[in-house]
């Protein structure tokens, strides 16, 4: 009996090694593109963005989920780095803070050119794969970063932004966030306002990927129906497995399938198990569920490393991706399905976004109505004289009264 137990244990170990070896073989040809990593935010909070500090050296950086050796061990070949600024910067210095975080990402590429290469298109990602470098892209996390300005949106695109998360955990004046679905925030746009629709259309025109992580269900559905290109959830999981409002419900997953969109699964314990503890196997459960409901082409990885405080056992940092891939292989995912989740699904979405973009088309121009902006920390140049802008009801009534008085009708 003891010998039999020993033989089965040996078989299990050998089988585990087989799946891990197979994972590494696949990832050498198709490294992972992760949808969301908050290392730039950690560089701000730990070093005030002073990358030349000895302690900020990314080859030996400690107390983070991410550094260069861990990225190499995890076969990370593409990364959307988060240019994140918190909600308390809204209507204050959000644009400045966002620019500083984009600068950090670009300086990472400049300081470590043997590891990182900043790219802005799908072809750049494929080239980085061939060179063995990490394709580094800018994802701006939160619509408050554009300060309700189409001009700022276009400028961030010119600076390299290739996805914009429509909200963070706060409403913008034009889109509702996930806390609306918990009752903690009040719905203000019922998904997307008229200006929010203009933001989505302009992102399509520019070739900026629409990211629906953090938004309300109404915003998810409105964007999925309006966008002419596929969208992503850069770091969200499946609501059916963990009833957290940051996750994606099944009816939305079916829209994801219909639109060729993508859900990049978040590893944060609270979104994986709805508890403080979680496991790698539970993350694989989310990947399985999304594959079942939305299709194998709708699955990706969006670990949220360095943006969360709790991670599953077995996925403690970015070096652990091969173990997750080995688990998918153990669950009989095909090699094509695994390569899709690693990179090919994101590349397909990105290429579709690029095909939809049309820089010869006239840009969206109409500003957000002045009465939808908080004016305490802003000037209002342009609003008083510009033609055909939405005016506040009181101003319209005063203007109408003046006209009627002039005509002797009052």
Considering just the CA atoms, what is the radius of gyration of the chain in Å?
23
For 89, residues 6+ apart whose C-beta sits below 8 A from its C-beta are: 97, 144
Q: Three-state DSSP class for 177?
A: strand
301, 338 in Cβ contact below 8 A? no
- Catalytic, out of 65, 144, 157, 168: 168
280, 324 in Cβ contact below 8 A? yes
Taken in order 26, 267, 353, 71, the sign of the CA dihedral is negative
- Catalytic, out of 65, 157, 235, 289: 235
The answer to whether 214 is a known catalytic residue is: yes
Side-chain-facing half-sphere of 30: CA atoms under 13 Å = 18
- Catalytic, out of 38, 202, 270, 337: 38
- Catalytic, out of 34, 65, 141, 147: 141
The answer to whether 168 is a known catalytic residue is: yes
- Catalytic, out of 34, 202, 304, 317: 304
Which 3-state string (H, E, C) describes 319-346?
HHHHHHHHHHHHCCCCHHHHHHHHHHHH
- Closest by CA to 338, choosing from 26, 73, 17, 118, is 26
The answer to whether 335 is a known catalytic residue is: no
φ, ψ dihedrals at 13, nearest 5° = -65, -45
The answer to whether 36 is a known catalytic residue is: yes
246, 214 in Cβ contact below 8 A? yes
Calculate ∠ Cα 218-223-227, nearest 5°: 160
The answer to whether 244 is a known catalytic residue is: no
Calculate ∠ Cα 41-47-50, nearest 5°: 100
Q: How far apart are CA 357 and CA 169, in angstroms?
A: 28
Q: Three-state DSSP class for 175?
A: strand
The answer to whether 304 is a known catalytic residue is: yes
The answer to whether 38 is a known catalytic residue is: yes
289, 238 in Cβ contact below 8 A? yes
Burial call 263-287: b when 16+ CB within 10 Å, e when fewer: bbbbbbbbbbbeeeebbbebbbbbb
Calculate ∠ Cα 280-244-232, nearest 5°: 75
Q: Catalytic residues, which ones? A: 36, 38, 141, 168, 214, 235, 304
């Amino acid at each position: 009996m003891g010998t039999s137990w020993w033989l089965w244990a040996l078989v299990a170990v050998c089988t585990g090694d087989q799946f891990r070896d197979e994972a590494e073989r696949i990832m050498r040809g198709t490294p992972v593109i992760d949808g969301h990593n908050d290392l730039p935010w950690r560089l701000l909070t730990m070093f005030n963005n002073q990358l030349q500090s000895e302690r900020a050296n990314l080859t030996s950086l400690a107390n983070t989920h991410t550094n260069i050796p861990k990225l190499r061990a995890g076969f990370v070949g593409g990364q959307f780095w988060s240019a994140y600024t918190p909600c308390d910067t809204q209507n204050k210095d959000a644009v400045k803070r966002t620019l500083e975080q984009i600068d950090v990402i670009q300086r990472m590429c400049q300081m470590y050119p043997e590891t990182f290469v900043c790219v802005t298109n799908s072809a750049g990602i494929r080239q980085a794969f061939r060179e063995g470098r990490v394709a580094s892209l800018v994802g701006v996390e939160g619509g408050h970063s554009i300060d309700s300005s189409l001009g700022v949106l276009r400028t961030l695109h010119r600076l390299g932004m290739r996805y914009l998360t429509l909200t963070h955990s706060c409403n913008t004046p034009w889109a509702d966030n996930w806390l609306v679905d918990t009752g903690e925030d009040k719905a203000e746009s019922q998904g997307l306002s008229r200006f929010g629709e203009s933001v989505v259309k302009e992102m399509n025109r520019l070739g900026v990927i629409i990211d629906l992580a953090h938004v309300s269900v109404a915003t998810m559905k409105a964007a999925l129906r309006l966008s002419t290109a596929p969208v992503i959830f850069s770091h969200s999981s499946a609501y059916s497995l963990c009833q957290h409002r940051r996750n994606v419900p099944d009816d939305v997953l079916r829209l994801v399938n219909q639109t060729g969109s993508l859900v990049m699964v978040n590893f944060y314990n609270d979104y994986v198990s709805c508890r403080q503890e979680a496991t790698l196997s539970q993350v694989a459960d989310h990947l399985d569920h999304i594959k079942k409901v939305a299709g194998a082409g709708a699955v990706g990885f969006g670990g949220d490393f360095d943006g969360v405080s709790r991670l599953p056992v077995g996925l403690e940092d970015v070096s652990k991706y091969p173990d997750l891939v080995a688990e998918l292989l153990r669950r009989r995912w095909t090699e094509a399905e695994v390569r899709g989740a690693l990179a090919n699904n994101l590349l397909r979405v990105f290429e579709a976004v690029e095909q939809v973009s049309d820089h010869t088309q006239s840009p969206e121009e109409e500003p957000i109505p002045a009465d939808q902006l908080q004016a305490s920390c802003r000037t209002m140049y342009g609003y008083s004289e510009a033609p055909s802008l939405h005016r506040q009801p009181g101003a319209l009534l005063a203007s109408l009264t003046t006209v009627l008085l002039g005509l002797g009708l009052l």
